[in-house]
């Protein structure tokens, strides 16, 4: 005889069970026993394993966070963090590291207040960490906001159509733009062109600049010339970047994706859009050349890998090259050996006694 008992949280306690056994002659006996239902104690290992299985994902912002901001010195702006939610309902912490931006950035009530007093050629990074309070297997998400501080705009001309105005062969560089335009109205007018050569899997965008005054144009192009956005499905976000190099007529931009491992991780590749947002104009005695606002370069982004993984791929490729060289060398030696055997066979056919004497 087997008894099966199932108890729940509200069934905890002691119970008395009475059992009566009666045979076919009417004789019977009685017995009783006590059933005690206690709360099940889970050991530490089982508890940790259960917690890890239940913690599916780290906390995240409900809507995309602003990841890049360009602000003029002397001005003030605020970035409010979107609502934060943990998919498992865990409690979480939001910590912010201001880094080198601490002198002009403050964090309070999930908002950044940015008030720079001086321009800088180097962008500032603010790092954000969202981490759940799971006791055994905490999970986290990291974010970075790139802040660029630009100098105040000085309006030295009557026209605001050009951010830069250069005259060659004139005594004054900051002369009135309208006068310069009338003076050189008969000059040849050209438009500089850009071509997006490629976007690599290590976060580099190569842009070719086709311009008459190539050297001056390359010098004037800066981080403030472009705005870069990434389109991932229905989500569009800013992509911070810096100019890594400028050689001849080619720019190399370093793209600083917020989460590189998520870029083009689905079946459809994410899209990168680079747009000129500041106009550059160069005026010489012979021509006027303009890099206009609104040039748009669009391409798909390949899945991204880390710099360390890229280095490993280079090593593997080099190892493959060495293996190919070794295979070619061994095949060459084998061919020489077979040719030698063939020559010896011919000698034996024509001079058999020579080989016998040599063997003796």
Q: Over the stretch 64-90, which tens digit does the pLDDT of each residue have?
A: 999 999 999 899 999 999 999 998 888
* Residue 267 pLDDT > 70: yes
Binned at pLDDT 50, 70 and 90, residue 159 comes out as very low
Going from the C-alpha of 287 to that of each of 168, 185, 298, 340, the distances in angstroms are 10, 9, 30, 73
- What letter does residue 186 receive in the DSSP assignment? T
Mean per-residue pLDDT over the chain, rounded: 79
CB atoms within 10 A of CB 339: 10
- Interval 331-349: pLDDT, tens: 555 655 565 555 455 445 4
pLDDT-above-70 percentage for the chain: 72
Average pLDDT over residues 313-319: 67
With beta carbons less than 8 A apart as the criterion, state whether 298 and 316 touch.
no
pLDDT-above-90 percentage for the chain: 39
- Interval 192-240: pLDDT, tens: 999 999 999 999 999 999 998 888 899 889 888 999 999 988 889 999 9
Binned at pLDDT 50, 70 and 90, residue 142 comes out as very high
- What letter does residue 262 receive in the DSSP assignment? G
Burial 279-299 (b: 16+ CB within 10 A, else e): bbbbbbeeebbbbeeebebee
Which of these, 160, 161, 176, 184, lies nearest to 290 by C-alpha position? 161
Pull the structure tokens for residue 163.
């951010």
* Residue 297 pLDDT > 70: yes
Pull the structure tokens for residue 22.
């009666």
Average pLDDT over residues 3-11: 73
* pLDDT value of position 173: 35
Angle, helices 307-350/352-359, rounded to nearest 10 degrees: 110
- pLDDT, greater one: 7 or 301: 301
Query: How many whole angstroms from its chain centre is CA 279?
Result: 28
Hunting for tokens 């061919």 — which residue is that? Answer: 335
Dihedrals φ, ψ of 304, to 5°?
A: -95, 145
Which H or E element spans position 316? helix 307-350
Q: Determine how β-strand 280-283 pairs with β-strand 164-167.
A: parallel
* pLDDT value of position 63: 93
């Amino acid at each position: 005889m087997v008894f099966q008992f199932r108890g729940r949280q509200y069934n905890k306690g002691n119970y008395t069970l009475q059992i009566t056994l009666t045979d076919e002659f009417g004789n019977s006996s009685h017995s009783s026993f006590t059933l005690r239902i206690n709360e099940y104690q889970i050991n530490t290992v089982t508890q940790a394993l259960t917690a890890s299985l239940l913690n599916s994902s780290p906390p995240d912002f409900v809507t995309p966070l602003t990841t890049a901001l360009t602000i003029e010195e002397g001005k003030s702006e605020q970035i409010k963090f979107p609502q934060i939610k943990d998919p498992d309902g865990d409690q979480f912490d939001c910590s912010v590291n201001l880094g080198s931006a601490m002198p002009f950035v403050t964090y309070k009530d999930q908002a950044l207040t940015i008030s720079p007093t001086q321009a800088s050629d180097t962008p500032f990074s603010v790092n954000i960490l969202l981490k759940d309070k799971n006791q055994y297997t905490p999970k986290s998400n990291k974010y970075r906001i790139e802040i660029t501080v630009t100098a105040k705009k000085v309006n030295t001309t009557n026209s605001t159509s050009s951010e830069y105005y250069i005259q060659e062969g004139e005594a004054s560089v900051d002369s009135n733009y309208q006068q310069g335009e009338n003076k050189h109205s008969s000059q040849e007018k050209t438009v500089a062109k850009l071509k997006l050569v490629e976007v690599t899997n290590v976060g580099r965008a190569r842009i070719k600049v086709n311009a008459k005054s190539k050297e001056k144009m390359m010098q004037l192009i800066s981080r403030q010339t472009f705005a870069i956005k990434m389109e991932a499905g229905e989500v569009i976000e800013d992509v911070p970047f810096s100019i890594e190099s400028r050689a001849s007529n080619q720019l190399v931009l370093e793209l600083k994706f917020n989460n590189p491992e998520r870029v083009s991780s689905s079946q459809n590749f994410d899209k990168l859009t680079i747009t000129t947002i500041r106009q550059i104009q160069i005026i010489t005695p012979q021509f006027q050349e303009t890099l206009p606002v609104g040039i748009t370069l669009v391409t798909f982004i390949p899945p991204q890998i880390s710099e360390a993984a890229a280095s490993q791929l280079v090593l593997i490729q080099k190892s493959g090259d060495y293996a190919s060289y070794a295979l070619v060398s061994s095949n060459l030696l084998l061919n020489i050996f077979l040719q030698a055997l063939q020559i010896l066979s011919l000698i034996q056919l024509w001079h058999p006694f020579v080989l016998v004497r040599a063997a003796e």
